[in-house]
Each structure stands twice: as C-alpha cells, then as structure tokens.
Amino acid sequence: MSKLQGKIALITGAASGIGRASALLFAREGAAVAVVDRDLPGAEAVAAEITGAGGKAVALQADVSKSADVQRMIAATIDGFGRLDILFSNAGIMTPGILHLVGEDEWDRVIGINLTAAFLACKYALPEMMKHGGVILATASVAGLEGRTAHASYCASKAGLITMIKSVAMDYAQYGIRANTLCPGGVQTNISNATLAGLSDAVKERLGRWTEEAVPMARIGQPEELANAALFLCCDDSSYVTGTAMVVDGGSIAGHVIPFVE
C-alpha cells in the first residue's frame, strides 16, 4: 500500500523547490494534496501535473503571513477534501544581511513568512487535527541550529520555528498529533537561486569552494532528497517520531573541517 493512501495533505510554498517535489511525491504515495503558494499559476501547474498522473489535487493561492489567507486555505482544504491529515508549512524566504544593515521592514518580512506563517497554519489547523490526529511538518534549516554569517534574521526565524514546533509536539501528542521540523542545508531551489543571483562572481566562487570543503558530501541537495525526508516524517514509518529537527544537509553541520589529513 502507498505510504499516504487516503490522507489529505496541505503544502505551502508548493509551486517550486522542496514544496513542489513534496507535493508530487505525496500524491504518488496516495495523498490528496492542497498545493498552496502565492504564485497561483505555479500552484496550478503542480496540481495539474498531479491530476494528470491520476492523483487528486487543488491549487490555492495564499500569502501565508496573513491570517485571513491561512484560515481560507485550511477551510478550502477541509471543504474540498473533507478533512486535513498533514500540514506541511514549507514556504520561506532568505535574505542575507549583516544585522545592523537589516531594515526593520525586512526583519518583519522574514519573521512573518518563516515563523509567523507557521504559527498561523498550526493555530488554524490544530482544531481540525485534534478531532482525529495528524502530522505537522515545518521546513526549518540548519541555520536554525547554528549561527551563520550575514544571516541573523534568517537564523532567528528558523531557530524560533524549531522550538515552536517542539512545543507543539509536546502540547498536542495527547491528541494523536506529531510535529517535527525538516532542517535542510544548501538545496537547489528558487530561493537559493534568487540569493545567488544577487551575488558577485567572486562571492559565488567562494561559496562553491566552501561547499566542496565544508560539506562532507561536497555538493548541495536536491529538492527530491528533501521530499523523501518529508515523506518519512509525514507517514507511519515515523510513527514514534515527534518533536525532532531532522537535519538533511550532506553533513555540513556534523563538525568542523580540520586539515590534519590529506
């Protein structure tokens, strides 16, 4: 039997990257998927790919940092599919910047999309899940587990997300709800591409060297690799896993490189 047969999943940031790969994989594993994104045409394209392959999906447009949009996307999912079993709060942004140069509006935007959005999604999904159990997954980052240069706002948002979801895991286990975070390292997504686009060739070259030297697997990840981890955390294979932050990063935070050997 498919790992998510008969389940109803809502995935935010699902028009591209990890969200898109997860929506396609979850659908192949039997879930009906609400494909949510600010980019409605992108969400519709993913939903069409799912339905074209014989799956069930609906595309929904939402700004996940806005309460009204979040309430609407959850209500539409329940109205359309009858229930909600899996909430994958995946949408996020990353804007590098030294802290004293980060504008207050930009700080608010990063916190709003990376942290407040997950709070809102949980707030309005939990009452439904408390009726029958379910799974909550949020995309955090290895940047929520350690400091990163020029990423103070991003690190803060992801660290807050990790500990918030741990609290959700503790408070709602009694209702049969599991809650975890997925912590990617570098991944080939539209977010990383947009970040790289604003950098000089010299900085890009240094980042390439850093990846080769500091990541034991000497490469960045692919969205499908993160989707596989998300599937594990959202299916019964991880039935005894809650409150964890699963790192999927090619070993980038396993330790520090010390050149003792060739």
- Using CA atoms, how far apart are residues 145 and 139, in angstroms rounded to an integer? 13
Confirm whether 172 is a catalytic residue.
Answer: no
Q: Catalytic residue among 154, 172, 175, 240, which?
A: 154
**Length of the chain as a residue count:** 262
* Whole-angstrom distance, CA of residue 120 vs CA of residue 70: 7
Round to whole Å and give the CA distance between 64 and 89. Answer: 9
Q: How many CB atoms lie within 10 A of CB 10?
A: 30
Q: Which residues are catalytic?
A: 154
